[in-house]
Amino acid sequence: MRKKNLLFTLLFTLFFSALSVAGAWGEVPAVQKTKDGYVIIDTLGLKKLLDTEPTDIVVVDARNPEEYQEVHIKGAINVPQKKFKKYDHLLPKEKSSRIVFYCNGIKCGKSRKAAKAALKMGYERIFVYAEGMPVWEEKGMPIYAGPDYEKRIETDKLSPEELNTLIQSKANTFTVVDVRDPEEFNKGHIPGAINIPSPTFASQSEVLDKDKQIIVYCNGGGRSYNAYRKLMKLGYKDIRQTLFFDWQEAGLPVEKSEE
């Protein structure tokens, strides 16, 4: 009976805490208030805010101006976190305004740092869209695309022989990522590879260690090229690309996941 009472008390407290946050911050789905005072909001939550209350929300891109000019959330303003004091006059005058900061995903700290700076300025309702630009873009949400958005990049290629040597070394300094569909992955993949399908690559990329080399591949190069670009936008520095077709042509071993 005592355990039941304790459980009831805990649920009761959590319920009214949630009501308290909702009352203070407005109707915001999927929120999580942090100890630093800002609220984490997800993609659907931000989309709902922009759809229902676009004039009451200020979305702030905390990345550098070059990234902002290439692509940003439609309607967002740019207040670079590294030059926050220089640009903070762009923020609304009303301290009760709802402001959403974002940058390049879960592992990007610029939006959180900017949020803390805004709180110190006296702003009361600060949000962080932690999933950031790569996930927003990946999910087909409204964006502004600059003239360099479609500019082709040159990927750093890795030959099958070089990759095989790396795998045989058993070094813990890299991760091989198959960006094809799960069905393709299960039928045959490079030994030791993990599967993060291209359509949801950015939203699942938090499992990847930024301190390791990330090697992406697909069959012909198209999907792994897109994953490569997403990794660049997410702030990964050491990225390589290879092809499963070349791996097979070289007669190298293929691992299967099917029973």
d(CA 115, CA 197): 32
Q: What are phi and psi of 55, to 5 degrees?
A: -80, -15
Q: List 239's β-bridge partners, or say none.
A: 214
Q: Are 79 and 91 in contact (CB under 8 A)?
A: yes
* Residue found by looking up tokens 């005072």 in the block: 37
Q: Looking at 117, 133, 167, 218, which residue is catalytic?
A: 218
| Strands, sheet with 98-102, edge to edge from the N-terminal-most edge strand | 31-33, 39-41, 125-129, 98-102, 57-61, 77-78
In a 3-state reduction of DSSP, which class is residue 215? strand
Decide if 218 is catalytic. Answer: yes
Catalytic residues: 218
